Structure 1
Amino acid sequence: MSRIIFWLALAFLVIFAVRSKIRQAQKRHEQQFRQPPAAGQQPPPQPGRPARAAQAADAETMLQCAHCGIFYPASETVQARGRDYCSAAHATLPAA
């Protein structure tokens, strides 16, 4: 009889410890989403929004050079004769 009580008490303590750890992890997770991000840091991904979608929103548009065909960020474009080029050197070359 004492062995049964021992095993029941041990099982109860294990279940209690596991549930306590789960509650602590949930509280830490909730606090992480409540705190505003520090300056210069990206906010943590939202629960319904995957991290990949957040990265895609931050991605820059890529353009293709009219001369060599290489892809480059739109912020680095050099426009000439109504076309986009990857560098000033390619913009000055005769059209192919």
Structure 2
Amino acid sequence: MGKLLFWIVLIILVLFVARIAGRMAAARQSGAQAGKAKKPAGGQPQQPKPLESMVRCAHCGIHLPRSEALLQNGQTWCGPDHARLGPGKR
């Protein structure tokens, strides 16, 4: 019974260490890619995208960025189909 418990604990420990190592490698790789992407050819870092306000579809209630919304008759819609259907019942 003692040997079985030892092997179970050892396997769990090895899996835990492997999981941590995988996460560290993924974080290191994504950090390297982000560093490359932020420096354009001019050498100056890119400015972050400005925050955009979210609006709600008058039919289904989904929230979407204002730039992707359809504005008709003073209401916002997620697409032309919902604009055609009109306001939803809530």
The higher-RCO structure (CA 8 Å, 6+ apart) is 2
**TM-score (ref. length: structure 2):** 0.42
**TM-score (ref. length: structure 1):** 0.40
Look at both structures and tell me which one has the larger radius of gyration over its CA atoms. 1
